[in-house]
């Protein structure tokens, strides 16, 4: 039997239910969930009414780590991370290194029942095995956030054409932004972290940010001037800034666009349903690029694990654990921005 917390209606508390263990298809495995991270995408589904592709009721949760307990014998007993984007592997996107936007993709907690449960059934093809030697320094439970909070910024940093010595500006240093800071440092960038929360900025500093800037109450011109001052102090590159919008707010996105300079690349990672007012001609005038990203190619997960194993990405200081039985309280507190770290739910059925 599978124990699960399910969304039955938008903005209604999740309901604990018991589901029969389903028959597995040839390409599927059953995973005993070790942990599942709470993402703002879950909040978007649950509270803001962003449509899910599976009819309700639905078990949310797409940052999953666990142990394969049934299915293909090659996978039995293996500790794994479930990629948040599971591609088909055969379409044009998959054949051209764009599998993260495969139009046949499946996402846990969106296309099928996800990880806020005791077990989850997933296709086995793109699972990411966790080497045993990693578990001496990182628990399988904390590694669940690799499925989105770590891998998504990893992919967008790769897409941003980051170079050693670049000035990298990270707007929003919470759940995904804190890992963007570390990945950018691993790539040799000078990182300036912006936020409206002093504690999150302290976290960013401990994660390796060269400079931090509290932007609460500051106008755009003042923020620009302060960034330019920091860039000069660091003798960093004064053009071609790489800007990463991680906050998922209208204010953060409009600020990010206003920071574009000659040769910049602006990467939009955070999501908001709000619409922005920006002057797109700035892209022309500064010969700049605007890019987005959706999740991370499953094929890149081993590279992320390598950075974690080498200590270049630290996870444990930036996560906190809760029993899954407290899920409704955790979702409410996440909605109200009461947590400074990524929340991870541990099954306690």
pLDDT tens, residue order, the chain (349 aa): 999 999 999 999 999 999 998 899 999 999 999 999 999 999 999 999 999 999 999 999 999 999 999 999 999 999 999 999 999 999 999 999 999 999 999 999 999 999 999 999 999 999 999 999 899 889 999 999 999 999 999 999 999 999 999 999 999 998 899 999 999 999 999 999 999 999 999 999 999 999 999 999 999 999 999 999 999 999 888 899 999 999 999 999 999 999 999 999 999 998 888 899 999 999 999 999 999 999 999 999 999 999 999 999 999 999 999 999 999 999 999 999 899 899 999 999 9
Q: What domains are there in the chain, each with its CATH number?
A: 2-148+296-346 (3.90.180.10), 151-292 (3.40.50.720)
SS3 187: coil
pTM of the model: 0.94
Alpha helices in 105-219 (DSSP H): 151-159, 177-186, 198-206
Instruction: Decide: 113 and 121 in contact? Cβ < 8 Å.
Output: yes
Instruction: Tell me the pairing of strands 319-323 and 342-346.
Output: parallel
Instruction: Decide: 10 and 58 in contact? Cβ < 8 Å.
Output: no
**Cis ω for the linkage preceding 57 (within 30 of 0):** yes
Enumerate the β-bridge partners of residue 265.
Answer: 242, 289
**Exposed, middle or buried, 128 (CB in 10 Å: 0-12/13-18/19+)?**
buried
């Amino acid at each position: 039997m599978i124990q699960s917390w399910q969304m039955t209606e938008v903005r209604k508390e999740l309901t604990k239910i018991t589901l029969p263990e389903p028959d597995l298809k040839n390409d599927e495995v059953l995973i005993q969930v070790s942990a599942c991270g709470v993402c703002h995408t879950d909040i978007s589904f649950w509270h803001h009414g962003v449509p899910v592709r599976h009819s309700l009721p639905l078990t949310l949760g797409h940052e999953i780590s666990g142990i394969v307990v049934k299915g293909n014998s090659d996978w039995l007993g293996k500790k794994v991370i479930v990629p948040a984007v599971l591609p088909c592997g055969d379409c044009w996107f998959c054949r051209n290194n764009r599998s993260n936007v495969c139009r046949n993709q499946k996402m846990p907690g969106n296309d099928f029942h996800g990880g806020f449960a005791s077990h989850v059934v997933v296709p086995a093809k793109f699972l990411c095995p966790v080497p045993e030697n990693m578990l001496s320094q990182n628990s399988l439970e904390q590694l669940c956030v690799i499925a989105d909070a770590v891998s998504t910024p990893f992919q967008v940093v790769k897409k941003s054409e980051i170079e050693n010595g670049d000035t990298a500006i990270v707007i929003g240093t919470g759940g995904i932004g804190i890992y963007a800071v570390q990945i950018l440092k691993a790539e040799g960038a000078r990182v300036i972290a912006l936020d409206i929360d002093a504690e999150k900025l302290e976290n960013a500093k401990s994660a390796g940010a060269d400079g931090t800037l509290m932007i609460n109450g500051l106008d755009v011109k003042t923020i620009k001037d302060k960034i330019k001052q920091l860039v000069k102090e660091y003798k960093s590159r004064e053009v071609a800034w790489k800007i990463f919008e991680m906050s998922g707010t209208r204010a953060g996105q409009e600020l990010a666009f206003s920071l574009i300079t000659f040769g910049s690349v602006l990467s939009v990672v955070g999501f908001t349903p709000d619409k922005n007012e920006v002057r797109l001609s700035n892209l022309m005038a500064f010969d700049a690029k605007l890019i987005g990203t959706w999740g991370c190619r499953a094929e890149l997960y081993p590279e992320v694990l390598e950075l974690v194993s080498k200590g270049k990405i630290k996870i444990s200081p930036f996560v906190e654990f809760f029993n899954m039985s407290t899920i409704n309280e955790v979702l409410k507190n996440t909605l109200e921005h009461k947590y400074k770290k990524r929340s991870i739910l541990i099954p306690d059925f």
